[in-house]
Structure 1
């Protein structure tokens, strides 16, 4: 061992308190996208979000929390208001108001063809969402669309890696 190596070894031993290692065990398991797919975890997070929104904003409907969860899931599952109304047991107008309570605005809610009250509530929901930095919308997206996102990202990274690896390869193949 030369002098520099011995000096570095001494500094290391001083810094680690004489231990031969600096590795520590991880106290908590790291999260992953797979954990998000647990329906109970997703439901609990959605319940918390709906409860927070109820405290912060005046909801136009008095639907139960489970109905709101069904509406949120259906919204991100591209279900129509009519289908959600059938699933929850209310009319489509109540579904629209409940969606807007959760800042879930469809493009047609802003159209001139929509009833004035719905259009005004859609504008108000957009304004509320903007003031909250789209916190609730983003949380819904994170909870309900991560599986799809992780699949796309994994696929894209594989394709990009392969494309970069084979980009400069020259082949002389004669058939």
Structure 2
């Protein structure tokens, strides 16, 4: 390659770290299937156990598949995997035995919130969601919150567990939510971000070369 081409390549590598990114993409290409599935499952189980010990779980169940505080840890593990696999609460409930096991979509929703796994749809409130979080963070009683938001108490109660899950997650800097995501999010998204970074870096490097040439 000529001197300018070589300089362009060097600037590109310096700007984007493309060689290192390519190696990471090659190692993680595809999805969770290419990772150590056993290690991922074990780490998810550890996180669930840690959260149970720290917060206590109570998804409102009783039966052979659960312990005294709600769903068994293995069921919570299944909720985590299902959530990041794009399954809705009803699908996860069916996988856990459905009505025959005393598990319904509401139970799964409660379990998700135990795990700080809040979906965007959970925050779709008929009032300002951030206002609800502020009220709860200030320790206001539900009746006072409902009055401040000008909605019925029953409506507020529907979204209180969601807001409390978000607040609990924020207090630990989204530690559990982020680690679940890091473990279970498909590598394709990471590859897309890497590709964008390379394109931006190449554009900047090219502009630098063109500036040098014009001078």
Matched, 1:74 2:114: no
Total equivalences in the alignment:
139
State the match for 2:159 in structure 1. Answer: 119
Which one of the candidate residues 95, 108, 121 is aligned to 2:108? 95
State the match for 2:122 in structure 1. Answer: 109
State the match for 1:51 in structure 2. Answer: 49
TM-score computed with the length of structure 2 as normaliser: 0.55
- 8 Å contact 2:90–2:104 — kept in the other structure? yes
Deviation at 1:87, TM superposition (A): 1.7
Give ranges in structure 2 of 5+ residues lacking alignment.
Answer: 1-23, 60-69, 98-102, 128-153, 211-215
> Partner of 1:96: helix, strand, or coil?
helix
- Deviates further, 59-68 or 32-41: 32-41
CA RMSD of aligned residues (A): 2.8
Q: Give, in whole Å, the separation in 1 of the partners of 2:181 and 2:174.
A: 10
Q: Give, in whole Å, the separation in 1 of the partners of 2:187 and 2:197.
A: 15
Q: Give, in whole Å, the separation in 2 of the partners of 1:157 and 1:112.
A: 38
For the structure 1 residues 148 and 117, does the alpha-carbon distance in structure 2 shift closer, same or farther, using more than 3 Å as the test? farther
For the structure 1 residues 60 and 112, does the alpha-carbon distance in structure 2 shift closer, same or farther, using more than 3 Å as the test? farther
1:35-70 deviation per Cα after TM superposition (whole angstroms, max 9, x unaligned): 772211111111111011000102112212222122
Q: Give, in whole Å, the separation in 2 of the partners of 1:162 and 1:67.
A: 47
More helix per residue: 1 or 2?
A: 2
TM-score computed with the length of structure 1 as normaliser: 0.67
Which one of the candidate residues 71, 86, 89 is aligned to 1:63? 71
For the structure 1 residues 148 and 166, does the alpha-carbon distance in structure 2 shift closer, same or farther, using more than 3 Å as the test? same
> Partner of 2:185: helix, strand, or coil?
helix
For the structure 1 residues 164 and 103, does the alpha-carbon distance in structure 2 shift closer, same or farther, using more than 3 Å as the test? same
